[in-house]
Amino acid sequence: MTNFDNLASEMVRRMAAEQLSPDIAPVTDAPVVRSQPTPRWHFVDTRGLLIALGCLVCSLVILSAYV
């Protein structure tokens, strides 16, 4: 057998093994995942507002140079 034949047979063997034993565990073995409590106050991400303010200031500076 050539190296390609060995690779092909290995791929077929792995695919058959995955079909026989899936990686999904039964529901009874699943760990209990508790959700994090939502915070009472959500702080606004101000990065977008700072970028918009910077664009506004920069455009006003550029426009004032031409007026």
Q: DSSP assignment, residue 29?
A: G
Of 44 and 59, the structure prediction assigns the larger pLDDT to 59
- Taking only the tens place, the pLDDT of each residue in 1-51 is 577 777 778 877 777 766 665 555 555 555 666 666 666 555 566 777 888
Question: Which domain does 29 fall in, by range?
Answer: 3-66
pTM over 0.85: no
How many domains is the chain partitioned into structurally? Answer: 1
pLDDT at residue number 15: 73
Q: First CA to last CA across the chain, in angstroms?
A: 81
pLDDT at residue number 62: 92
Which contiguous run of DSSP H or E holds residue 4? helix 3-20
